[in-house]
Amino acid sequence: LFSGRVDFLLSAPELKFLPEPDFPEVAFAGRSNVGKSSLLNAITGRRSIARASVTPGRTQELNFFEVGEPTLFRLVDMPGYGFAKAPVKVVERWKKLVRSFLRGRVVLKRTMLLIDSRHGVKPVDEEMMTMLDESAVGYRIVMTKADKIKASELAETAELVRAAARKHPAAYPEIQITSSEKKMGIDELRAALLEDISH
Ligand code: GDP
């Protein structure tokens, strides 16, 4: 399926620009630089379907991709968060956009929350998890860049991430461990995603 059609659809800087809610959607969220673009490229088998935004001002859109011919579902690349230097106004705009999308999007089947394997769950991720709990959609936690640390450290961080997940009602208790670089956990994530959209 992922080797078939995957097309960029549109970029929505505000809710009024969202596409019609006519296909199931799975959203991807995470701190800036968590490896979200790389993961989207890895699961779609594309080199550059998703591009990393380099400046905070350019990260404020929801990017939609369509998968399948005819279209079966959409992937939504949510704007990254956690820029230390982001102006308050930008952060407020981000919160408003993301919160209303998460709460109001009827076709949203699941959110994938990406956590950097080197850093674990940071306070901004906790905030995001709380925001996700308040939306009606369950989320999976996906650890990224697993190749960057030793197996023993990875196991330790994974356990801490699982413990954090258990405190959040809408988080899946099992987590996904991935490396876009080494193509690790990518097939498993695709399978989870396909299960999510078919419910
Ligand atoms: P985004 O800002 O969340 O979209 O993050 P990117 O996908 O642009 O990745 C941020 C940086 O991390 C880039 O330099 C990537 O090459 C690197 N990166 C992303 N995924 C991996 C991975 O699985 N392994 C390693 N070693 N580096 C990664």
| Residue 23, C-beta contacts closer than 8 angstroms, at least 6 positions apart | 66, 71, 72, 73, 74, 107
Collapsed DSSP state (helix, strand, coil) of residue 33 = coil
Cα(19) to centroid of ligand 1, in Å?
Answer: 28
From CA 27, how far away is CA 62, in angstroms rounded? 9
Yes or no: say if 18 and 61 are a contact pair by the CB < 8 Å rule: no
Q: Does the C-beta of 6 come closer than 6 Å to ligand 1?
A: no
183 torsion bin: left (phi>0), alpha (psi -120 to 50), beta (else): left
Cα(106) to centroid of ligand 1, in Å?
Answer: 30
pLDDT digits (tens, 9 = 90+) for 21-41: 999 999 999 999 999 999 999
- Predicted-complex ipTM score: 0.99
From CA 17, how far away is CA 37, in angstroms rounded? 22
pTM of the model: 0.95
pLDDT digits (tens, 9 = 90+) for 140-178: 999 999 999 999 999 999 999 999 999 999 999 999 999
What structural domains and CATH numbers belong to the chain? 6-197 (3.40.50.300)
| Residue 169, C-beta contacts closer than 8 angstroms, at least 6 positions apart | 133
Cα(144) to centroid of ligand 1, in Å?
Answer: 8
- Tell me, what's the pLDDT at 18? 97
CB atoms within 10 A of CB 125: 24
Q: Which atom of ligand 1 is nearest to the CA of 179?
A: 23
Instruction: Identify which has the larger pLDDT, 86 or 106.
Output: 106
Residue 41 tokens read as: 């490229």
The amino acid sitting at 37 is: S
Q: Does the C-beta of 34 come closer than 6 Å to ligand 1?
A: yes
In sign, the C-alpha dihedral spanning 129, 138, 42, 73 is negative
pLDDT digits (tens, 9 = 90+) for 93-133: 999 999 999 999 999 999 999 999 999 999 999 999 999 99
